[in-house]
């Protein structure tokens, strides 16, 4: 009888540890990219995001470096404006990493971004006689903001 209880305890430890590891793997799988780019020109030396200007219309003279996209996914921002601010900042950071000093904004939008889930489970077992399990979960869907534009280099104005 003692061996069965011990084996059952070791089995519960295995599932508890395995469940924790599986949870970490699933959490890692949820971490997705929040920016991307496709090089269409010649990248330059990276700059600071604070030096990148946002354009809603094309400036008179510019060089295209890349097509860039960003999303508010994985941010802790609440509300549409805060999420859009995150998108603009991420577009600027992506552009700066390519050496651009401007972002020509081409489109903004929304996407359904899944949600946040939480679960709690309790299990009780007695030496092979049976088990009781109780679980509950909460799921909260979220909507992300998106932005699409061009990373551009605008040469300094000549006097």
Do 56 and 120 fall within a single domain? yes
Do 40 and 93 fall within a single domain? yes
Q: What is the pLDDT of residue 119?
A: 62
Do 131 and 103 fall within a single domain? yes
Which tokens hold the place of 111? 């996407």
Question: For residue 97, which of 155, 44, 39 has the smallest C-alpha distance?
Answer: 44
- Residue 68 lies inside a defined structural domain of this protein: yes
Q: Report how far residue 78's alpha carbon sits from residue 74's, in angstroms, rounded to the nearest whole number.
A: 12
Do 105 and 51 fall within a single domain? yes
- Residue 158 lies inside a defined structural domain of this protein: no
- 147 in Cβ contact with 105 (< 8 Å): yes
Do 113 and 146 fall within a single domain? yes
Which tokens hold the place of 6? 């011990």
Q: Report how far residue 134's alpha carbon sits from residue 155's, in angstroms, rounded to the nearest whole number.
A: 64
**Count of structural domains within the chain:** 2
Q: What is the pLDDT of residue 96?
A: 97
Q: What stretches in the chain show pLDDT beneath 70?
A: 1-32, 113-141
Q: What is the pLDDT of residue 26?
A: 43
What is the pTM (predicted TM-score) of this model?
0.64
Which tokens hold the place of 147? 């932005």
Q: What is the pLDDT of residue 115?
A: 57
Do 138 and 86 fall within a single domain? yes
Do 77 and 21 fall within a single domain? no
Q: What is the pLDDT of residue 40?
A: 96
pLDDT tens readout for residues 15-30 = 455 554 444 444 444 4
Do 45 and 115 fall within a single domain? yes
- Residue 70 lies inside a defined structural domain of this protein: yes
Q: What is the pLDDT of residue 30?
A: 47
Helix and strand element counts for the chain (H, E): 2, 5
- Residue 44 lies inside a defined structural domain of this protein: yes
Which structural domain range is residue 23 located in?
1-31
The three-point CA angle 120-126-129 to 5° equals 115
Is residue 81 helix, strand or coil?
helix
Do 44 and 1 fall within a single domain? no
List Cβ neighbours of 49 (8 Å cut-off, separation of 6 or more): 89, 92, 93, 95, 96
Q: What is the pLDDT of residue 89?
A: 95
The three-point CA angle 95-89-108 to 5° equals 90
Do 96 and 38 fall within a single domain? yes
- Residue 56 lies inside a defined structural domain of this protein: yes
């Amino acid at each position: 009888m003692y061996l069965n209880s011990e084996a059952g305890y070791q089995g519960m430890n295995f599932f508890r540890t395995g469940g924790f590891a599986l949870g970490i793997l699933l959490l890692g799988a949820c971490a997705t990219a929040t920016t991307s780019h496709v090089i269409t020109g010649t990248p330059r030396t990276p700059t600071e995001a604070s030096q990148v200007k946002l354009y809603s219309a094309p400036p008179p003279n510019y060089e295209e470096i890349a097509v860039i996209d960003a999303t508010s996914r994985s941010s802790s921002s609440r509300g549409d404006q805060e999420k859009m601010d995150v998108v603009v900042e991420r577009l600027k950071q992506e552009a700066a990493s390519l050496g651009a000093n401007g972002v020509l904004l081409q489109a903004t939008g929304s996407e359904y971004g899944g949600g946040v889930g939480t679960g709690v489970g309790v299990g009780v077992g007695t030496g092979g006689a049976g088990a009781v399990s109780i679980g509950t979960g909460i799921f909260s869907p979220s909507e992300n903001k998106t932005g699409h534009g061009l990373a551009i280099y605008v040469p300094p104005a000549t006097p």
